[in-house]
Amino acid sequence: MLRGFPPVVAADTHTLILGSFPGEASLAATQYYAHPRNQFWRLLGAILDEPLAELAYEERLRRLLSHGIGVWDVLAACHREGSLDAAIRNAQPNDFASLREHSPTLRKVCFNGKTAGRFAPVIGAAGYTTLVLPSSSPANAMLSFDQKLRLWRDILT
């Protein structure tokens, strides 16, 4: 059984971005979105006008939190060979009820890709605004960086 990471949130986090589950590169590095071809940090850096992709991991997280944005995954644990969401088995969701406890100002939950987006109705029913975004994964090559960026800018609205 693979285990994910704890949430990166603060008391003043107003927006949370949920992925599905860390890929092999992220698990090995114990960092969210560690695969060098994943566009997560580039996308958020462009949106926030911050050089996130160029910074050390801890500084990336600090800057993200300074903008009121947090990161987590929909799954706490699962079995999976490789990094593809399609290979996920025996998935165990994270404790979303704890979101209000960790981040009482949380209002918006964004989902990085369709797999994570399956949880949007559950999170929406809990009173949060939800937004399903195209995956930042290198496996999602159907959209260019600029096409993804146009959609990801809705995080700030």
Domain ranges of the chain: 2-156
pLDDT at 84: 82
Is 140 an active-site residue?
A: no
Domain 2-156 fold is Uracil-DNA Glycosylase, subunit E (3.40.470)
**Whole-prediction pTM:** 0.95
Q: Which member of 38, 90, 94, 112 is catalytic?
A: 38
Give the mean model confidence (pLDDT) for residues 73-93. 92
Q: Which residue carries 């939190």 as its tokens?
A: 65
Alpha helices in the chain (DSSP H): 24-29, 40-48, 57-66, 99-102, 114-117, 120-125, 145-152
Q: Are 72 and 8 in contact (CB under 8 A)?
A: yes
Give the mean model confidence (pLDDT) for residues 101-124. 94
pLDDT at 139: 82
Structure tokens, 29: 């590095």
Instruction: Give tens-digit pLDDT for 41-81.
Output: 999 999 999 999 999 999 999 999 999 999 999 999 999 98
Q: Are 68 and 12 in contact (CB under 8 A)?
A: yes
pLDDT at 10: 95
Q: Which residue carries 């949380």 as its tokens?
A: 106
